[in-house]
Amino acid sequence: MRIQVTSIILAAVLMCSCHGGSQFQAEGGIMKLASHITVLETAHSYNVRIANPWQKGSLLHTYTFTDSLPTDYRFSRTVNTVHVPLARVVVMTNSLARLMVELGVEECIAGVCEPEYISDSLIRARLEDGTIADCGNSMYPTIEKIMELNPDAIMVSPFEQTGYGQLEKLGIPLLECADYMESSPLARAEWMRFYGRLFGAGNRADSLFEKVSSDYGNLKERASRTYSRPKVMLDTRSGSAWYVAGGESTIGRMITDAGAEYIFGDNKKSGSVPLSFETVFEKAGDADVWLLKNSGSVNLTYSLLESDFKSYSSFKPFREHNIWVCNVNEVPYFELTSFHPEMLLGEFISIFHPELGGGGLFYHPLDD
């Protein structure tokens, strides 16, 4: 039986490389850290520009969110004005659905995609009583169900060279949520300030982000005072290639912030880079800690890892039994860490520097 060990994000995302930059930031804008979105506030609207992560210097989308629209208005890809606050939306990412619960606007969720990956008890209860509808797979949503819901907007995740098919023909605003393309943990989390404003929860979102940012900064400072800097490697091969997160990726930066040395930290990519096993082993053979994410139904062990690919046993963390695994089917990793990077940072610190104490929700030592 072949085990399933996931990489940093979904396979489609791993092939991405982020190239957007801070040239989209505007003085006086609401967003201070995020490099792929600018939000300018006026008396009755928010003017939003989202950078194209795959084409430097270009825009993915522009929107005007306003509390005043003519009665005969109809949304289109060329007329990107949306009425706020939004009252009913279809959410295609579980992390955003979880954030909406935290912001107290869960009643605005009319439908979600892939509810099997949502663990939040409140959302699950609303799914069971029919308050929230199951809209199918995020890549191939159930169009008829979405039309029946008639939401104010559909919150989608953009992918390179991928359109939205029939969704684009419904006349329903498609809001492209590109937060996952940010290369800084706090820059991604800051998108909560934009999302909060869509639902009239801007103040709550600002307060939450201030707490997240403060906690992250305190943890980073604590880790910076440690003396050891363990070398860290990530994930496993996928087919014939080993997809390595660049040093400028969110996860790469977080490992550094946790007081460790990311093996591929000198790679300046913010996306993922396919490498051969030989190249990875040359760099990571003597790593101290190995972090894995598993999406399979089988409980991963050292013996299963070796049976999947014998050469894994040549790595130092395998020999010294210092491999940590996160089963994303059992813990809300993707739901929580997108907008709560301080939770993952704290866990990384406890793994890399056990002398500091602490524990975590996501990772545990790989079973023998």
Do the domain assignments include residue 359? yes
Mean pLDDT calculated for residue range 3-32: 50
Total Cβ atoms within 10 A of residue 90: 25
Same domain, residue pair 141 and 89:
yes
The secondary structure element, H or E, covering residue 60 is: strand 59-66
Rounded to 5°, the CA angle 346-35-141 comes to 85
Residue 25 pLDDT level (bands cut at 50, 70, 90): low
User: 233 with 206, same domain?
Assistant: no
Q: Which residues contact 221 (CB under 8 A, 6 or more apart)?
A: none
The crossing angle, in degrees rounded to 10, of helices 121-128 and 94-102 is 100
Tokens 């989608």 identify what position?
Answer: 156
In-domain check, residue 221? no
Asked whether residue 266 is domain-assigned, the answer is yes
* pLDDT tens readout for residues 283-330: 999 999 999 999 878 889 999 999 999 999 999 999 999 999 999 989
Task: Specify the pLDDT at position 299.
Answer: 87
| Predicted pLDDT at 43 | 85
pTM, to two decimals: 0.90
For residue 102, is it within any domain? Answer: yes
pLDDT at 2 over 50: no
Could you tell me if residue 222 is inside a domain?
no
What gap in Å lies between CA 142 and CA 166, rounded to an integer?
10
Number of other residues whose CB lies within 10 A of the CB of residue 57: 11
Task: Indicate the pLDDT class of residue 178, thresholds 50, 70 and 90.
Answer: very high
DSSP-assigned letter for residue 310: G
Q: What is the CATH number of the domain that holds 42?
A: 3.40.50.1980
Mean pLDDT of 42-58: 90
What is Dmax (Cα atoms) for the chain? Answer: 68
pLDDT in the model for residue 78: 54
- Alpha carbons 162 and 148: distance in angstroms, whole number: 25
Integer distance in angstroms from the first to the last C-alpha of the chain?
Answer: 18
Same-domain pairing of 355 and 243:
yes
The mean pLDDT of 188-203, rounded to a whole number, is 97
Mean pLDDT score of the chain = 89
In angstroms, the CA 339 to CA 335 distance is: 8
Tell me the per-residue pLDDT of 71-115, one tens digit each, with 9 for 90 and over: 566 665 555 889 999 999 999 999 999 999 999 999 999 999 999
The 10 Å Cβ neighbour count of residue 116 is 8
Q: Check whether 18 has a pLDDT greater than 60.
A: no
Residue 3 has pLDDT above 60, yes or no: no
Q: Report if residue 353 sits inside a domain.
A: yes
> Do 251 and 117 share a structural domain?
no
Mean pLDDT of 125-149: 96
**Residue 9 confidence (pLDDT):** 35
Beta bridge partners of 71: none
pLDDT 10s digits, 231-279: 999 999 998 899 999 998 899 999 999 999 999 999 888 778 999 999 9
Domain that holds residue 90: 20-213
Q: Report the SS3 class of residue 91.
A: strand
Residue 218 falls inside a structural domain: no
